[in-house]
Structure 1
Amino acid sequence: MTAEPLAFHRRVAQEKRAAIIEAATRLFLERGYDGTSLARVAETADVSKSTLFKQFPTKSALFEAIVTTYWDLGEGMTAQPAAGDLRAGLGAIGRQYAELLDRPGMASLFRIVIAELPRFPELGRVQFRLGKMPYFESVQRYLEAESAAGTASVDDSETAANQFLGMISNYVLWPRMLLVDWNPGTVAIQGAVDQAVVTMLARYSAATSN
C-alpha cells in the first residue's frame, strides 16, 4: 500500500475515533456511565460496532481515551518552560492550564466523574492518574527547577503547585459545576492567571524572599 492510501486510512481512523469519543462523552453525561452501552455509542457515532470494539474493547478503555484526549496538550505544547524567569514561566504554565480547563467538554468530563463516583470510583482514579497528575507533576518539576536555579524559593513544590493551579481552576472550572451560565471571557481568564502569577511571585520569588 502506498503512502497516500495509508495517510487516508489513518485520517479516517482518527476521524472515527474522534466521533466515538465525542458521542461517548455526550452519552455518559446524558445517560450515565452505567447506562451507556458500547453499542449505543457506536450507533450515535455512526460507526460499526466492530470499528468501535477494535479501538476500544471495553467501556473503561473508552473512558481512559476520553480522559487522555481532553488532557492532551497537543504537539508543541508539552515542553516545560526553561528555568530562569519565574514570572514568564508561571505565566506560560497558567495560560496553558486555563486553556485546558476552558476547553469545550472539560467541565462535562468532570461532571461525569462526579456523578458516577459513588458507583464507579475507578473513574475518579482514571481522571486523577491520566489527567490531573501528569500535568500537576510537570508543574512541580518546573517549580523545583526554578528553585534549583535560584530564581524561586520553594521548600514544598507539591503545596506550591496546588496553590497555583488551584487559584486558576477555582475561577475557570469549578464555578461551572454549579453555575450553568458561568462562561468568563478570554480577558477575564487572563486576568485570573495574571493575579495567580502575582500571588506566587509574592510568596515564592527568590527576590521577594531575600
Structure 2
Amino acid sequence: MISEPIDPKRQAIIDGATRMFLAHGYRNTSMEKIAQSAPVSKATLYNHFDSKSALLAAVIAERCTLLLQTMNHATIDSDDVASNLTQIATSAVDLIYAEDSLAIYRLIIAESPDFPELGRLFYQSGPQPVLAQLEAYFRRLDAEGRCNIADPVFAADVFFSMLKGDLHLRCLLTKAVRPSAEQKNRLIEQVIAFYMRGMIDA
C-alpha cells in the first residue's frame, strides 16, 4: 500500500492544534491560537480545516494512523494469527499508553459534558475504525474456516479491552507511571496467550 504524500502545512496545523489542545483544553483553544502555534495564516488554516471540531478529529485520527497501518499490514501479509495479533497488540499498547494519548483521553472526558460532540468525534475518529478493521479480519478468519469466531464484534472489543484493563484506568486517573517496555511486552504476551485459548481456539 502506497502512502499518500504528507502535506507539510496540514501536518504543521495538526501538530500546533495538538500542542494547544493539550496545553489549554478544547474550550480555551481558538482557531487563531492554533494558527499562531502552527504557525500559518488563518486563511491557510481554514483552507485545511473548517472548524475546531474538525481539527480535533484530525488530531485523534492521526494518533490511530500507525495502529491502522500495522493492522492492515499484519492481517494481509501473514497467515499466522498469533503473530498478526501480537503486531496489532504491540502497536495498540504503544498508542494507548503514550503520554499524549492519555492526555487527549483525559481532555475528551473532561470536555464532553459541555461539548457532547467531542465524544462522538473521538469515537468515530479513533476507536470505531480500529474496531471495524479488527472485526473485518475476524470475519475473514471465520469465513475461511481458519478460526471459529461466532461474534467478531465481541471478539474485537474483548481484544482491545484486555490490553487496557485496570492499568490504563490507573494511568488515566492517577497519572501512574506508564508501563516500561518490558511490562508492555509481558502484558502483550499474556493477553495473546489467554486470548488465543479463549477466543480463537474455542
TM-score tier by shorter-chain length is 0.7 to 0.9
Equivalent in 4, 28, 35 of residue 21 of structure 2: 28
Contact (CA 8 Å) 1:87, 1:197: kept in 2 or not? yes
Mark the structure with the bigger radius of gyration: 1
Equivalent in 130, 140, 145 of residue 145 of structure 1: 140
Equivalent in 27, 32, 50 of residue 39 of structure 1: 32
- Return the TM-score normalized by structure 1: 0.81
1:108 and 1:196, CA in 2 relative to 1: closer, same or farther beyond 3 A? same
Equivalent in 188, 195, 199 of residue 200 of structure 1: 195
Contact (CA 8 Å) 2:102, 2:171: kept in 1 or not? yes
1:88 and 1:183, CA in 2 relative to 1: closer, same or farther beyond 3 A? same
Match of residue 79 from structure 1: 73
Counterpart CA distance in 1 for 2:180 and 2:127 is 23
Counterpart CA distance in 2 for 1:88 and 1:74 is 15
User: 3-state SS of the aligned residue for 1:73?
Assistant: helix
User: For structure 2, which runs of at least 5 residues remain unmatched after alignment?
Assistant: none
Deviation at 1:177, TM superposition (A): 0.9
Contact (CA 8 Å) 2:67, 2:91: kept in 1 or not? no
Structure 1 stretches of 4+ moved >4 Å: none
1:184 and 1:101, CA in 2 relative to 1: closer, same or farther beyond 3 A? same
Q: State the aligned residue count.
A: 196
Match of residue 170 from structure 2: 175
Counterpart CA distance in 2 for 1:189 and 1:130 is 25
| Cα-Cα RMSD | 2.4
- Return the TM-score normalized by structure 2: 0.84
User: For structure 1, which runs of at least 5 residues remain unmatched after alignment?
Assistant: 1-9
Match of residue 58 from structure 1: 51
Match of residue 60 from structure 2: 67
Contact (CA 8 Å) 1:94, 1:193: kept in 2 or not? yes
Contact (CA 8 Å) 2:68, 2:130: kept in 1 or not? no
1:172 and 1:134, CA in 2 relative to 1: closer, same or farther beyond 3 A? farther
Counterpart CA distance in 2 for 1:93 and 1:29 is 27
